[in-house]
Structure 1
Amino acid sequence: MIIMKFGGTSVENAAAIEQVAEIVRSRQKDSPIVVVSAFAKVTDQLVLMGQQAASGDCESCLQLLQAIRARHLETAEALVETGFSKISKRVESITADLEHFVRGVAAVRELSPRSSDCLLSFGELLSSEIVAAALAVRGLDSVWVDARECIVTDAMHTRARPLFEATKEHLQAKLGPVLVKSRIPVMGGFIAATQEGIPTTLGRGGSDFSAAIVGAALTAERIEIWTDVEGMMTTDPRLCAEARTIRQISFNEAAELAYFGAKVLHPATLLPAIEQNIPVYVLNSRNLKSKGTRITAHAPRSRDIFRAITAKTGVSMVNVVASRGLMVHNFLRSVFEALDRHGCPVDLVAISEVSLSFTMESKRLPETLLAELEEIADVTCEDQQAIVCLVGEDIHGKPGIAANVFTTVAKAGVNVRMISQGASEINISFVIKEGDVPQAVRHLHRHFFPSHSAQVGRTAAAGEVRRARSATRDRNANGSRSKSEKIGRNRSGSASGGARVSRAPGEHPRPRQVSAAPLLNVKLASGSRG
Structure 2
Amino acid sequence: MPVIKIGGSIQKDERDFELIAKRIERYADQKGKTVVVTSALKGVTNGLIEATENREKAVEIVSEIYDRHVKLLSKVSEGAEFENAFKALSKLADELFRIAWSIKVLDETSMRVRDYILSFGERMASVTLSAMLRARKIDAEAYTEPVIVTDDSFGEANVIEDLSAMEARKVLDTKSKIVVVPGFIGKTQTNRYTTVGRGGSDYTATLLAKLLGFPEVRLITEVPGIMTADPRKFSGARTISRLTLEEAMELAQMGAKRLHPRTFEPMLDRDIKVYIEGLYDEGFTLVQGGCNSLDKLKGIAVLEDLKLISVESTNIVGKIGSAARVMETAREAGVNIISLSQPASETTIHIVVDSMNSRRLTSRLQELRDLDSVRVEDVSAVSVVGCGLRNKDLFKEVLREASSFELASISRGLRNVSVTFLTSKDEGFNLAKDLHEVVVKWIN
For residues 329 and 65 of structure 1, the distance between their equivalents in structure 2, rounded to whole angstroms, comes to: 54
The alignment yields a C-alpha RMSD, in angstroms, of 2.2
Instruction: Tell me the residue number matched to 2:354.
Output: 361
**The one of 362, 375, 393 aligned to 2:368:** 375
For residues 323 and 366 of structure 2, the distance between their equivalents in structure 1, rounded to whole angstroms, comes to: 11
Q: CA deviation at 1:265?
A: 2.2
Q: CA deviation at 1:322?
A: 2.4
**The one of 345, 357, 363 aligned to 2:336:** 345
Q: 1:5 touches 1:224 (CA, 8 Å); kept in 2?
A: yes
Residue identity opposite 1:66 in structure 2: S
Identity %: 25
Matched, 1:246 2:237: no
Q: 1:242 touches 1:451 (CA, 8 Å); kept in 2?
A: no
Q: 1:224 touches 1:282 (CA, 8 Å); kept in 2?
A: yes
3-state SS of 1:263 partner:
helix
Instruction: Tell me the residue number matched to 1:135.
Output: 133
Runs of 4+ in 1 over 6 A off after TM superposition: none
Per-residue Cα deviation, 1:64-96 (whole angstroms, up to 9, x for no partner): 223212211110000012222222222222222
Instruction: Tell me the residue number matched to 1:46.
Output: 48
For residues 429 and 326 of structure 2, the distance between their equivalents in structure 1, rounded to whole angstroms, comes to: 33
Residue identity opposite 1:199 in structure 2: Y
Instruction: Tell me the residue number matched to 2:405.
Output: 416
**The one of 209, 213, 217 aligned to 1:219:** 213
3-state SS of 1:20 partner:
helix
Instruction: Tell me the residue number matched to 2:288.
Output: 296
Residue identity opposite 2:72 in structure 1: T
**The one of 173, 176, 189 aligned to 1:177:** 173
Distance of aligned partners of 1:317 and 1:297 in 2 relative to their CA distance in 1, 3 Å threshold? same
Matched, 1:387 2:378: no
For residues 244 and 311 of structure 1, the distance between their equivalents in structure 2, rounded to whole angstroms, comes to: 16
Instruction: Tell me the residue number matched to 1:232.
Output: 226
Q: CA deviation at 1:418?
A: 4.8
**The one of 181, 193, 201 aligned to 2:195:** 201
Q: CA deviation at 1:239?
A: 1.6
More displaced 10-residue stretch of structure 1: 72-81 or 322-331:
322-331
Q: CA deviation at 1:169?
A: 0.8
For residues 169 and 447 of structure 1, the distance between their equivalents in structure 2, rounded to whole angstroms, comes to: 47
Q: 2:384 touches 2:435 (CA, 8 Å); kept in 1?
A: no
For residues 92 and 308 of structure 1, the distance between their equivalents in structure 2, rounded to whole angstroms, comes to: 45
More displaced 10-residue stretch of structure 1: 129-138 or 6-15:
6-15
Residue identity opposite 2:25 in structure 1: R
For residues 324 and 373 of structure 1, the distance between their equivalents in structure 2, rounded to whole angstroms, comes to: 14
Instruction: Tell me the residue number matched to 1:210.
Output: 204
For residues 299 and 418 of structure 1, the distance between their equivalents in structure 2, rounded to whole angstroms, comes to: 24
For residues 412 and 50 of structure 2, the distance between their equivalents in structure 1, rounded to whole angstroms, comes to: 40
Distance of aligned partners of 1:332 and 1:373 in 2 relative to their CA distance in 1, 3 Å threshold? farther
More displaced 10-residue stretch of structure 1: 22-31 or 115-124:
22-31
| Aligned 1:156-167 pairs, distance under 5 A | 156-167=153-164
Distance of aligned partners of 1:120 and 1:182 in 2 relative to their CA distance in 1, 3 Å threshold? closer
Per-residue Cα deviation, 1:215-243 (whole angstroms, up to 9, x for no partner): 11001111110000010111111121111
Residue identity opposite 2:431 in structure 1: A
Instruction: Tell me the residue number matched to 1:259.
Output: 253
3-state SS of 2:387 partner:
coil
For residues 109 and 320 of structure 2, the distance between their equivalents in structure 1, rounded to whole angstroms, comes to: 41
Residue identity opposite 1:317 in structure 2: L
More displaced 10-residue stretch of structure 1: 92-101 or 358-367:
358-367
Instruction: Tell me the residue number matched to 2:315.
Output: 324
For residues 274 and 251 of structure 2, the distance between their equivalents in structure 1, rounded to whole angstroms, comes to: 15
**The one of 85, 88, 97 aligned to 2:86:** 88
**The one of 52, 60, 63 aligned to 1:63:** 60
Distance of aligned partners of 1:277 and 1:417 in 2 relative to their CA distance in 1, 3 Å threshold? same
3-state SS of 1:223 partner:
strand
Q: 2:11 touches 2:17 (CA, 8 Å); kept in 1?
A: yes
Matched, 1:434 2:425: yes
Distance of aligned partners of 1:435 and 1:302 in 2 relative to their CA distance in 1, 3 Å threshold? farther
Per-residue Cα deviation, 1:86-120 (whole angstroms, up to 9, x for no partner): 22222222222212101111222221110110011
Q: CA deviation at 1:375?
A: 2.5
Residue identity opposite 1:311 in structure 2: V
For residues 54 and 129 of structure 2, the distance between their equivalents in structure 1, rounded to whole angstroms, comes to: 29
Q: 1:342 touches 1:369 (CA, 8 Å); kept in 2?
A: no
Matched, 1:112 2:110: yes
Q: 2:226 touches 2:257 (CA, 8 Å); kept in 1?
A: no
For residues 198 and 258 of structure 2, the distance between their equivalents in structure 1, rounded to whole angstroms, comes to: 12
Per-residue Cα deviation, 1:185-225 (whole angstroms, up to 9, x for no partner): 10110011001111000111101111111111001111110
For residues 34 and 389 of structure 1, the distance between their equivalents in structure 2, rounded to whole angstroms, comes to: 33
For residues 11 and 216 of structure 2, the distance between their equivalents in structure 1, rounded to whole angstroms, comes to: 21
Instruction: Tell me the residue number matched to 2:265.
Output: 271
Q: 1:339 touches 1:369 (CA, 8 Å); kept in 2?
A: no
For residues 351 and 5 of structure 1, the distance between their equivalents in structure 2, rounded to whole angstroms, comes to: 42
Distance of aligned partners of 1:322 and 1:394 in 2 relative to their CA distance in 1, 3 Å threshold? farther
Please tell me whether Structure 1 or Structure 2 has the larger radius of gyration of its CA atoms.
1
Per-residue Cα deviation, 1:426-457 (whole angstroms, up to 9, x for no partner): 111011233333322222222331499xx9xx
| Larger RCO, structures 1/2 (Cα 8 Å, 6+ apart) | 2
Instruction: Tell me the residue number matched to 1:518.
Output: none
Q: Where does the alignment leave 5 or more consecutive residues of structure 1 unmatched? A: 456-530
Counting matched residue pairs gives 435
Per-residue Cα deviation, 1:328-371 (whole angstroms, up to 9, x for no partner): 32422321221232333211122122211121222233525533
| Aligned 1:144-163 pairs, distance under 5 A | 144-148=142-146, 150-163=147-160
3-state SS of 1:217 partner:
helix
For residues 434 and 273 of structure 1, the distance between their equivalents in structure 2, rounded to whole angstroms, comes to: 35
Residue identity opposite 2:374 in structure 1: V
Q: CA deviation at 1:374?
A: 4.7
3-state SS of 1:341 partner:
helix
Residue identity opposite 1:416 in structure 2: F
Instruction: Tell me the residue number matched to 1:466.
Output: none
Instruction: Tell me the residue number matched to 1:26.
Output: 26
Q: CA deviation at 1:315?
A: 1.5
Per-residue Cα deviation, 1:99-151 (whole angstroms, up to 9, x for no partner): 21011112222211101100111111111110011111111111111342x21
Residue identity opposite 2:181 in structure 1: M
